[in-house]
Amino acid sequence: MTKLQALIFDVDGTMADTERDGHRVAFNRAFADAGLDWDWSVSLYGELLDVAGGKERIRFYLNQYQPDFKQPADLDQFIADLHRTKTKYYQNLVAEGAIPLRLGVKRLLKEAREQGMRLAIATTAALPNVTALLEHTLGSDSPSWFEVIAAGDIVPAKKPAPDVYQYVLRVMNLEPQDCLVFEDSYHGLRASSQANLKTVVTVNEYTQNQDFSGARLVLNHLGEPNQPFSVLAGKVENASYVDLALAHHLHGNF
């Protein structure tokens, strides 16, 4: 049996609850700036999350929800401009501390670093948004903790396609069986599973009712020594929070 060598993290929804109070708010501010009366409510945004990637999400919304909108000649540029403004607003929100890490994330990363576990990120979100979140929650050097931060347009096919995970494996020169992934969504789990990676899912408000069959373990969060997780699917023996011992157990016990 191979030894667990690397942990690969999704960001949005997994490391932090970025969507409702971060990305969604930033999209709305960018729309207002552009003089658009579009408003992505909490529930509408839940539907729009079906489309991964900020630019892709704006395009989908335009086509599906604003059929009468007179599209500019250069639609790609229009969307790119909106998305750039959105990124600025998102970074402001992160800098204000509006988006804390989820329970257990900092502790697990700290332990992984102490034990020499290799780390990577595989996300659909744009790179500047990821580094801003890391820097403001974990410190200015934290992006360097991750051997690879595979983000945004680094691969053309975003999650649920497996490409971003395959990219990470290629760059790190690892096989799927060397790794354990942390995800929060059906799309994320499909991406990691199609890359043959074992996955722990920590659900959130937007993803709690999704189908996670195929996940190694489904939890409400990673937990802390004084705040145990709830197990929604899978087996953990006596553990009450995710640490490296449990990660090794989940990886080996197949």
**Is residue 10 a contact residue for ligand XBP (CB under 6 A)?**
yes
Tokens 């790609």 found at: 76
**Is residue 204 a contact residue for ligand XBP (CB under 6 A)?**
no
124 contact, one of ligand XBP, Mg ion, none, CB 5-8 Å limit per kind: ligand XBP
Least distance from C-beta 114 to Mg ion, angstroms? 26
**Is residue 163 a contact residue for ligand XBP (CB under 6 A)?**
no
**Is residue 46 a contact residue for ligand XBP (CB under 6 A)?**
no
On the CB side of 152, how many CA atoms lie within 13 Å of its CA? Answer: 13
CA 197 vs. chain centroid, Å, equals 16
In this chain, which stretch among 52-60, 140-148, 166-174, 224-232 interacts with ligand XBP, using CB under 6 A? Answer: 52-60
* 163 counts as catalytic: no
Q: Which of 10, 17, 163, 243 is catalytic?
A: 10
Phi, psi of 164 (to 5 degrees): -65, -35
Least distance from C-beta 116 to ligand XBP, angstroms? 26
Beta bridge partners of 199: 181
Q: How many CB atoms lie within 10 A of CB 246?
A: 22
Nearer to Mg ion, 38 or 120 (CB): 120
**Is residue 99 a contact residue for ligand XBP (CB under 6 A)?**
no
CA distance 249 to 225: 18
Phi, psi of 149 (to 5 degrees): -115, 100
* 12 counts as catalytic: yes
Burial class (CB in 10 A: 0-12, 13-18, 19+), 179: buried
In this chain, which stretch among 72-80, 119-127, 223-231, 233-241 interacts with ligand XBP, using CB under 6 A? Answer: 119-127
Which residues 11-70 are close enough to bind Mg ion by CB under 5 A? 12-13
Phi, psi of 95 (to 5 degrees): -65, -30
Tokens 């204000």 found at: 96
Beta bridge partners of 201: 183, 218
Least distance from C-beta 9 to ligand XBP, angstroms? 10
28 contact, one of ligand XBP, Mg ion, none, CB 5-8 Å limit per kind: none
Q: How far does the chain reach from its first CA to its final CA, in angstroms?
A: 10
Catalytic residues: 10, 12
Binding-site ranges for ligand XBP (CB under 6 A): 10-13, 19, 23, 52-54, 123-126, 129, 152, 159, 185, 187-188
Binding-site ranges for Mg ion (CB under 5 A): 10, 12-13, 184-185, 188
